[in-house]
Amino acid sequence: MSDGVWWASQDFWRKCAIFVTAGMFLVLILLTFHSLAAITAGQDRVPAYSVINHRIDYVFDEERNMKVPVIGEEAPLFGEVLSEEEARALVDLGKLTVQAKNCMNCHTLLGNGAYYAPDLTKAWLDPGWGNEQARELLMTMFLKDPKTNARTYGTNRRMPDLGVTDEEVRGIIAFLKWMSAVDTNGFPQGFEPLPQGGA
């Protein structure tokens, strides 16, 4: 484009490309610093790992016009109050197991992954577990043996037995409980958690 008008000149667009790219990248870096601070565990949007010692609910917030996780009274997982470090180690085991067993190529977590099986963002709060009293036991049984405890709602689409150990199952459940307390800006929309508190 050699006809001389500035908007058709190669030089103009080369500079444009360089400055736009550099500018946008700089903004992204700045936002990244801010976002990473906001999603560090224990900050406002992502809970500390010891959140697994508490009851978690998902309720409508008038001001934000969306459902948000609410961290309630003490309700320790498997009846055992853990320190922040112990809780982190347990959630960590869960996260490692989720990666090593490749759960995300069937399920979505926070909506990302595969679409062959239900989203697990709020699995801890799923009404399918009946009530709070039965939940831990039913989850453990399901994850230990998803074949016999299959539900599949008439589809016969079962989760395979992934050979998880008892300790790994506890880790997975801790991880799922922790994840259900992440502030996801109202995703999944309209999710009704299992009855809280009551029998």
Residue list 90-129, contact with ligand HEM (CB under 6 A): 112, 114-116
CB of 181 to ligand HEC, least distance (A): 16
DSSP H/E element including 25: helix 10-38
Exposure class string for 109-146: b at 16+ Cβ within 10 A, else e: beeebeeeeebbbbbbbbeebeebeebbeebbebbbeb
| Residue at 71: amino acid letter | I
Residue 152 binds ligand HEC, judged by CB under 6 A: yes
CB of 124 to ligand HEC, least distance (A): 8
Site size toward ligand HEC, by CB under 6 A: 23
Contact partner, 49, from ligand HEM, other proteins, ligand HEC, none, Cβ < 5-8 Å per class: other proteins
Per-residue DSSP letters for 100-164? HTTGGGTSEETTEE-SSS---TTGGG-GGG-SHHHHHHHHHHHHH-TTTT--GGGS--PPP----
Query: How far, in Å, CA of 115 to CA of 106, rounded?
Result: 6
Residues of this chain, 155-184, that bind ligand HEC according to CB under 6 A: 157-160, 162, 172
The one of ligand HEM, ligand HEC, other proteins, none whose footprint includes residue 150, by CB under 5 to 8 A per kind, is ligand HEC
Of 45, 55, 95, 101, the one binding ligand HEC (CB under 6 A) is 101
Angle separating helix axes 84-100 and 166-179, nearest 10 degrees: 100
Contact status: 103 vs ligand HEC (CB under 6 A)? yes
Q: Which is nearer to ligand HEM, 59 or 114 (CB)?
A: 114
Q: Nearest approach, Cβ of 83 to other proteins (angstroms)?
A: 15
| Torsion on CA atoms 100, 54, 150, 122, rounded to nearest 10 | -80
Binding residues with ligand HEM: total (CB under 6 A): 4
Residues engaged in binding ligand HEM (CB under 6 A): 112, 114-116
